[in-house]
Structure 1
Amino acid sequence: MSRTQNDKDKGFIAALITAFGDSDQPPTRTEIEAKAAMLAPILGFSGDLENVVAMAETVIPSRMSAGVSLVDPEADHDQEWILKREIEPIYADAYGDFLRAEGWKPTVVNTLLNDDGAKILGLLQDPIDEGAWNRRGLVIGHVQSGKTANYLGVVARAADAGYKFIIVIAGIHNNLRKQTQRRVDEGFVGRSSDPANRVPIGVGLDRDYPNPVTLTNIHMDFNKQTADKSGAELNDFKKPVIIVIKKNTKTLEVLHTWLRELNVKGADRIRDVPMLVIDDEADNASINTNKPEVNPTLTNAWIRKILRLFTKSCYVGYTATPFANIFIDPDAFDEEVYEELFPKDFIYSLDAPTTYFGPDKVFVDEDSSARVLRPITDCEDYLPLTHKNGTPVAELPPSLYRALDQFIVARAIRNLRKQERKHCSMLINISRFVSVQKEVKSFISLRLEKIKDAVKANYMMPEHVSAQNEYMAQLRAAFDSEFLDCGFEWNDVKEALWGVFEHLRTFVVNSKTTDDPLDYEKYEREGVGLTAVAIGGLSLSRGLTIEGLTVSYMYRNTRMYDTLMQMGRWFGYRPNYEDVCRVYLSKDSINWYKHIALAADELRHQIRRMRNVGLSPRDFGLYVQSHPDSLLVTAANKMRSGQKVTLKQNYTGKLIESFLLPLDPQISETNNDLIAKYWADRFGGAELRETEKGWFLPNVDCDKIGEFLAGFRSHKDAVRQKALAIDYLSAISDKFPKGDVLLVSNGPGDPGSYVLGAQERTAADATADKWQISGYRVASRGDEKLGLSVDQKKLAEQLAADDAKSKTKKPSDFHYRLVRKKPLLMVHVLEPTKNEQFRGLRVPAWGLSYPDGQYGTAIEVVANRVWIEQMYGSLDDDRDDDEDYDVE
């Protein structure tokens, strides 16, 4: 099928979406079908209506709320400057038209350009302002959620306003820089930067479009020779100049030299050229590494030197994992490189459209995560988490072959849904070593050949014949176990299997790849929907978009927030195939991802809360630096050699729980006796009230709560966490002398004997030494509302309804925490399940919830690597430099 037909499909879908652009409620499929049938003859569309209706159905319901900003309230800056100038939106309107033509819903485009884009531009400086100025900001998005689309909108608006020179820093690898250059060409430049094919594309298809100047192209990063060919200074260009560069010290140094030599002209700085730097993946190359060409100190220094060259500059970092950026010292200054990149002026948190397939759907929502997630339990026997360069691969784990079978069946289903021209990919990320990646490719290629031969011989055969072939039987098993609700019968899918192999290719994707790179655009030009199995390491872990990603298989051992979240290439948008997506991870990774997803939501909540009370980015920076999970980021930076580091810890608005438990019957008996003792005493004589799930004791002395916890016997690796929880309770005791206690019970229990009803929790992986609760969560959702008054519950409901970041508009435990306004101790008794060794054991656990708003209260922690590993488990043995590079 030609690409022309693909363009026609896009155009018709865009028209169909526009027809529902003003709808407050999402239309039904019947309404979309009726509208499509009406529009088709009017627009002369003769393509497949069923497929375009299915595509439109997944896009039309999407909506997108505007983001929220945290700004420095003391700064002398007028955010309304864009409303006070008459700015002709030439580039912004062209970009909006381009997005709508690509099938973006008008309401989402409006939010992206007129809400988020305009607000972020307002946070920058007016480029026509006199004098010298600089601003530093950070935009926090979601992995694979459209950050590039957002910053291209900001770039377009900035160009309209008068920014003359724009630098986009696009990660540390060539393939990511090339991908970003293509996006910039489509959305802003309007012309292909391929020297052999400089044709109008994207926004440039309008003949009157005023193409900006680009000094880089899809094949070549910035170099002095290319720039010098123009023979022009920045001020000589009548249109904006944009370059897309790799985050590499050599490239940055060459750029700095060219700018200084050609443009400074004997002065100390470049004047009257308003300059904007967009630093994509701004947290990358921010941790310690031994690689000199991307040494973070040098990278950071060269960016600061380039900014310093201009009297008028703005720096905006974009990231989905902001911990490393917030760890920048806001007061750091160097006589050679000047001010740091800390986002002193603003932090802007983006929302994601409702159709975003993100961490909530994959890891938090129980229904969708049960469909998507598959635990890897067998890989360690074949390729351990920790292995060396050159490790021989004797065979791949059965779970990987099952995932491959599911991918083939899923592609067949997508083809039946008329998505043959859409890309469909599988990601395999199990080693950072190129040598191992190549071996994995050999096994996968061999397996695919065998499956292909089996399908060729059997896809048209009767079932009783094809079922005799082992590979066909495995494909049938994949269908039966995963895709019975896909809308097709097995015989339909079986007949579609042969078409899967027509454009199926296997790629090794890493920083060393030169032959046969994964190039989706090449196949698009040929009108082909590529079916790709992509095998790699870091290049699959950060920034690079894997088109049509359907099945992911990742077995890696990092626990660092930024690295792990960026490895989540499966996040994004999955129109009409979200139901066939699968993600394979180790159980540890699944639990940690759940934890990170909740922690990320906490940070976004805090940005809004801190804005409401007039705090600044500096205050947010201090909060994040003292966030308990910041220890892991610090560990990456400072604890590799085992030295001790003194840190602040702040538990404001957080729930700390004993998710690591001992399975020693004697310890459990001791803790059950402790619960009975304090229950009988009513924690010092407090009133006892029955709730729908146990008993509630209001206004207990916090000293009594601390005393109870001090007597509670913990797992040996959780003793320090309990001590910190008690220390923080003591630190806020002047403001909060009283707290509440919940004795959480599953069923009636036996209050006469002071026995709580046990709550079941899976212990499938537990050992006699340790039981780690799934998801690092002991309490069930909604437990924190127990004991609240009717008015408090109504207030929590109102807070949730007013919360722009809440998708369900139903109160979360965070909202209940806000209205309680005092510490809360929750006491549980858990019963291990799915493990006969511990059947019937009653294991006490606790959780301590702290009120929000205590940003200035922190406790000191002296930590080293051993301390971190006791608190969080083993750190990534690969170390930072190994995580950040593909190794030959």
Structure 2
Amino acid sequence: MKINDPQYSALKNIIVSFIDIDVNNGKKLEFGNIGSYVNKATQFSGLTVDKDCYDSLISDMEYQFKVFHTPGCCIYDDYDDPHSWYNNSTDAEQNYFWLRYRQYLTYHSSIDLKSINLLDEETLPRIMNCLGNPQEQFEGKRLVRGLIIGDVQSGKTATYSGLICKAADAGYKVVILLAGTTESLRQQTQERIDEGIVGQTIRKDGKGTKNYRVGVGLDNKELKATSFTSCANDFIGDHDKISTSIDAHNSLILFVVKKNVSVLTKLYNWLHDQNVDPVFGYIDTPMLLIDDEADNASVNTKQDETNPTKTNAIIRKICNLFKNASYVGFTATPFANVFIDPESVDSMRHADLFPEHFIYTLPTPSSYIGANKIFYEDGERFGNLRYINDIDEPDYSSEEYKDAVENNIDALNDGLFYYKHSKNWHGTTPHSLRESILCFFLANVVRDLRGQSSAPRSMLINMSRFVRVQHYLKDYVDYVYDDFTRDVRFNFDEDSKKNKNLLLYKELNKLWDKHFNNIKDISFDRVIKKSALMAATEKIQVLVVNSSKSSSKLDYKANPNLRVIAIGGLALSRGLTLEGLLVSYFYRNTATFDVLMQMGRWFGYRFGYDDLFQIWTSQTSARWYAEISRAAEELKDDLRNMYDQHLTPKEFGIKVRDNCEELQITARNKMRSAYTQNVRYSYYGNIYDTPYISLNTAQNTENLNAIQSFTTSMLQHGWSLNFADRWRYNDKDINDPKNGASRFFADVPKEQVVELLKHIQCSLVNMNFNVTNIIDFIQDEETQNVELWDVVFEGGDSNKGYPIEGLEIIKCTTRYICCDNRKVIQVSSRRRILGLREGKFALEPADLNKAEEACRSTWISEGLTKAEAEKRNIPLRAYFKYLPQRKPVLIIMLVEPTPADKDKEEPKRLQNFRKDLGDDMLVAFAVGFPGVKEAESAKTYKVNKIYYDLYMQDEVEQEDGDEDEE
């Protein structure tokens, strides 16, 4: 049976029945057990399924039951507090808001029942117990501050809407929701709050406004929430002059406002003037402030902490108006938040927005498609990635470019699109953009043929922050769309066989073979029919969506079946949802973790078309996204480890992964504390290499000379070479000229290693191979087990021997080299020169077995079966982490660059490098240290960061008279 067979739905129902029976009997559904239910159902029905069908059934069950791999986790400021004040009562009277919202989610959202139950019974009660008890009596004022970390496009809105409901039922009377920095996003958020909590909405209707019931209010029962903002208006105009107060309303009071100083100031003035008790100087009403996208605009970015930014200051002032307040930040990119200084000493001492009291990570469902599934080479959806490789970036160091910048003109105004274009760019768009648009058309047809014709779908084009350029791109997209639909309407015949000689037919056929070869349930013959093409594309709209006054709006309420190609910049990067996102064309060079992740609108749930969506981006951006994903995963791992050790948010020395040197964690102005803080760092238990080589070949020559001097000295003083792979060549002749394998000097004193390190130069882009820091670490009195070293010369697959006297017998390695927009040469496409074997160098078989057994034991203790642990490859670092008594190792690798591809022209920078290098070998290094647990925090280093010319910070949206910049 295949996916498109009629029996597929019947088999799905059988599987669901088997799962429901077990779940209702109290059995927990685990991800690893889903396959057994599929097998049970196929046996019961007598049906057989192919692999694609089997995988699809697994995916469907994951989505329907939202099987969670990663549990939620919370760290607290006080672990002695039981955090149990909240009673998750089921009483209908006490749960007015939540029960209505739960019913709304059940019948009017795509969220499945299992996820709703998890939200109700676990996630929200745990968050509620982190907040201040609204019924508690205490002296003075209290402000609880916390942070909730989710995933981009993962359903945070449903979580904070549910939190508002439970908070209101528990006794919170005022809720302030900060909904981004743009009006379009605020309106989208207001719309969802109206539907899920308020029950009515106010919209503009002609010259006036119209009030009508929506969502939870359609039951026509009493409404118990009052919103002081609406889809028509933020808290603007004369709102701060309203002659009423919180106490005058016997209902929940809601404000959905932008993070805009003017708006927030009006809200502060009204709260202060109409509601503060003149005797006590505060508002004695429990208040919950939810800061959506809390890393954006809320963070104090001033260098001088006594003068915080106005947005940050006004948020804090609003919180401090209330006797009992809780501030909860929601974000998928917490990198800026965790760098807030927890020891601010301004006039409101310790009152910054640092999440002092708790940090909670939301659970991640297995059906969520995040960066690890897309941008890791072994990710489930790595095949959905398309590289934009037809844009050749100009030489930003050229005199022509420098003169253009100095004179404020665009020297390449009429050229092919490139990163640092000006606001007046009107050149040539890359062919890959047309290709991606046509892929969007084809993907629309596939969804229609799958019976999903009523579902909205969209394409994202994010190439420029300039409004004028966005409109120029729209003109191009309009041309492609009009030309396509005109060609299909007037030149195509319903009989596809008659169209085979048409240029468009041939182009679509080529694209189908190139980009849709994974689609098994729909054939190209069905897709290419004239009627199918026209039905799928004739209602597509092309819109520019930004924060300018001329921006179009994505109104899914008015048009729930909207098919759109949305062109924009920052407005498409923060919270705005693109329903049914099928194709993303992303070519931006923003180099910060948080902004890049928010630009990834393609993350989320793609049920029914997870095999169909495509992401078009540069290899550099794809590499950055992989780095960001690792950073985020390690951040969450750190939080779980913190919980195990009962560490508090203040004690959390956030260790954000920063191995990708050209990629910043967050904008410079959000990292003011990080620059001055010392970070504890240890080299123990791992190995670090140098995948980047300086463009200055003189440094490479100096490294070759240093290796020659070191080798000559060692041989003259009686050191002899040994096979580095002892277990493999123990019985071989070390002087056999036919054996070019790796050799090493054993028991080299650290003084000689340090002397060699002092004479080598490595690109600063090799963040973890900072020679100065390594030498300091080796020479520190507290550093253990570094007195004697193994120095390895790694052998490889080249026909050329080491051009070092005394080492000629060892063969060089060969590696692919490339050079993109950075001022370095990258050795290998993986950004690591090491494989798995380097950790084994100079070890005895007994040591190898010890490390491998320890590693597998750790995996088994973490939940893997013995069989699963046996199948895994032992990682490189295991041979250091689990061997505290091994000697440290310095690996030297001489690399023969692979010849240039004759069919592909290399960048001029790389051509010049090859010319300057001549016949010399490239020199790369690696250094590994034993896993000495007792001394892991032996040395403290300052974090240093290098910024590249290509860095272009995404600024707060601004608009001049010509609407040039978004």
TM-score tier by shorter-chain length is: 0.7 to 0.9
Deviation, structure 1 residue 666: 4.2
Q: What is the aligned partner in structure 2 of residue 218 from structure 1?
A: 231
* 8 Å contact from structure 2 (residues 286, 322) kept in 1: yes
Match runs of 1:59-458 below 5 Å: 59-60=63-64, 62-64=66-68, 65-73=70-78, 77-82=81-86, 88-101=94-107, 102-131=109-138, 132-194=141-203, 198-205=211-218, 211-223=224-236, 225-226=238-239, 232-285=244-297, 297-335=309-347, 339-366=351-378, 368=380, 370-379=382-391, 380=393, 381-391=415-425, 393-458=426-491
What is the SS of the residue equivalent to 1:348? strand
Q: Tell me how far apart the structure 2 counterparts of residues 16 and 156 of structure 1 sit (CA, whole Å).
A: 34
Unaligned runs of 5+ in 1: 1-9, 37-51
Q: Does 1:770 align with 2:775?
A: no
Q: Tell me how far apart the structure 2 counterparts of residues 17 and 200 of structure 1 sit (CA, whole Å).
A: 36
What is the SS of the residue equivalent to 2:264? helix
Match runs of 1:528-607 below 5 Å: 528=561, 530-607=562-639
Q: What is the aligned partner in structure 1 of residue 396 from structure 2?
A: none
What is the SS of the residue equivalent to 2:428? coil
Matching residue within 937, 949, 952 for 1:874: 949
Q: Tell me how far apart the structure 2 counterparts of residues 255 and 633 of structure 1 sit (CA, whole Å).
A: 33
Distance 1:53 1:688, change over 3 A: closer
Q: What is the aligned partner in structure 1 of residue 733 from structure 2?
A: none
Aligned residues: 845
Structure having the higher Rg: 2
Greater CA drift, 195-204 or 413-422: 195-204
Q: Does 1:734 align with 2:785?
A: no
Q: What is the aligned partner in structure 2 of residue 498 from structure 1?
A: 534
* CA displacement 1:474-530 (0-9 Å, x = unmatched): 222211101123122211011221112232001101001546412222211xxx2x2
Q: Tell me how far apart the structure 1 counterparts of residues 766 and 416 of structure 2 sit (CA, whole Å).
A: 32
What is the SS of the residue equivalent to 1:374? strand
Q: Tell me how far apart the structure 2 counterparts of residues 723 and 580 of structure 1 sit (CA, whole Å).
A: 46
What is the SS of the residue equivalent to 1:552? strand
Matching residue within 908, 925, 928 for 1:846: 925
Deviation, structure 1 residue 833: 4.5
Distance 1:112 1:682, change over 3 A: farther
Q: What is the aligned partner in structure 1 of residue 651 from structure 2?
A: 619
* 8 Å contact from structure 2 (residues 682, 937) kept in 1: no
Distance 1:768 1:79, change over 3 A: closer
Deviation, structure 1 residue 138: 1.2
Supply the AA of the counterpart residue of 1:418: G
What is the SS of the residue equivalent to 2:482? helix
Q: Tell me how far apart the structure 1 counterparts of residues 718 and 581 of structure 2 sit (CA, whole Å).
A: 55
Q: What is the aligned partner in structure 2 of residue 26 from structure 1?
A: 34
What is the SS of the residue equivalent to 1:166? strand
Q: Tell me how far apart the structure 2 counterparts of residues 878 and 95 of structure 1 sit (CA, whole Å).
A: 40
Greater CA drift, 590-599 or 672-681: 672-681
Q: Tell me how far apart the structure 2 counterparts of residues 61 and 842 of structure 1 sit (CA, whole Å).
A: 56
* 8 Å contact from structure 1 (residues 743, 756) kept in 2: no
Supply the AA of the counterpart residue of 2:197: F
Greater CA drift, 234-243 or 587-596: 234-243
Distance 1:173 1:656, change over 3 A: farther
Distance 1:287 1:86, change over 3 A: closer
* 8 Å contact from structure 1 (residues 659, 772) kept in 2: yes
Deviation, structure 1 residue 321: 1.8
| Superposition TM-score, scaled by structure 2 size | 0.76
Deviation, structure 1 residue 161: 2.0
What is the SS of the residue equivalent to 2:254? strand
* 8 Å contact from structure 1 (residues 411, 500) kept in 2: yes
Supply the AA of the counterpart residue of 1:136: R
Deviation, structure 1 residue 455: 1.7
* 8 Å contact from structure 2 (residues 485, 534) kept in 1: yes
What is the SS of the residue equivalent to 1:520? coil
Distance 1:769 1:390, change over 3 A: closer
Q: Tell me how far apart the structure 1 counterparts of residues 216 and 861 of structure 2 sit (CA, whole Å).
A: 37
What is the SS of the residue equivalent to 2:631? helix
What is the SS of the residue equivalent to 1:180? helix
Q: Tell me how far apart the structure 2 counterparts of residues 493 and 745 of structure 1 sit (CA, whole Å).
A: 53
* 8 Å contact from structure 2 (residues 773, 941) kept in 1: no
Supply the AA of the counterpart residue of 1:845: A
Q: What is the aligned partner in structure 2 of residue 796 from structure 1?
A: 855
* 8 Å contact from structure 1 (residues 689, 696) kept in 2: no
Distance 1:645 1:72, change over 3 A: closer
Distance 1:189 1:819, change over 3 A: farther
> What root-mean-square deviation, in Å, do the aligned CA atoms of Structure 1 and Structure 2 show?
4.7
Deviation, structure 1 residue 880: 3.8
What is the SS of the residue equivalent to 1:330? coil
Distance 1:352 1:232, change over 3 A: same
Q: Tell me how far apart the structure 2 counterparts of residues 62 and 697 of structure 1 sit (CA, whole Å).
A: 55
Deviation, structure 1 residue 197: 6.0
Deviation, structure 1 residue 267: 3.7
Greater CA drift, 558-567 or 198-207: 198-207
Match runs of 1:809-824 below 5 Å: 819=882
Greater CA drift, 631-640 or 575-584: 631-640
Supply the AA of the counterpart residue of 2:233: M
* 8 Å contact from structure 2 (residues 815, 827) kept in 1: no
What is the SS of the residue equivalent to 1:254? helix
What is the SS of the residue equivalent to 2:615? strand
Q: Tell me how far apart the structure 2 counterparts of residues 574 and 825 of structure 1 sit (CA, whole Å).
A: 47
Greater CA drift, 111-120 or 582-591: 111-120
| Superposition TM-score, scaled by structure 1 size | 0.82
Q: Tell me how far apart the structure 2 counterparts of residues 308 and 876 of structure 1 sit (CA, whole Å).
A: 38
Unaligned runs of 5+ in 2: 1-8, 24-28, 46-55, 394-414, 729-740, 902-910
Distance 1:136 1:834, change over 3 A: farther
Q: Which has the higher helix share?
A: 1
Distance 1:116 1:58, change over 3 A: closer
* CA displacement 1:800-828 (0-9 Å, x = unmatched): 4565999x996867888764568965737
Greater CA drift, 219-228 or 681-690: 681-690
Q: What is the aligned partner in structure 2 of residue 723 from structure 1?
A: 771
* 8 Å contact from structure 1 (residues 326, 625) kept in 2: no
Distance 1:473 1:173, change over 3 A: same
Supply the AA of the counterpart residue of 1:389: K
* 8 Å contact from structure 1 (residues 762, 834) kept in 2: no
Greater CA drift, 509-518 or 76-85: 76-85
Distance 1:334 1:704, change over 3 A: same
What is the SS of the residue equivalent to 1:412? helix
Q: Does 1:779 align with 2:809?
A: no
Deviation, structure 1 residue 241: 2.2
Match runs of 1:851-866 below 5 Å: 859-861=940-942
Distance 1:439 1:651, change over 3 A: same
Deviation, structure 1 residue 324: 1.4
Deviation, structure 1 residue 702: 6.6
Q: Tell me how far apart the structure 2 counterparts of residues 360 and 480 of structure 1 sit (CA, whole Å).
A: 26
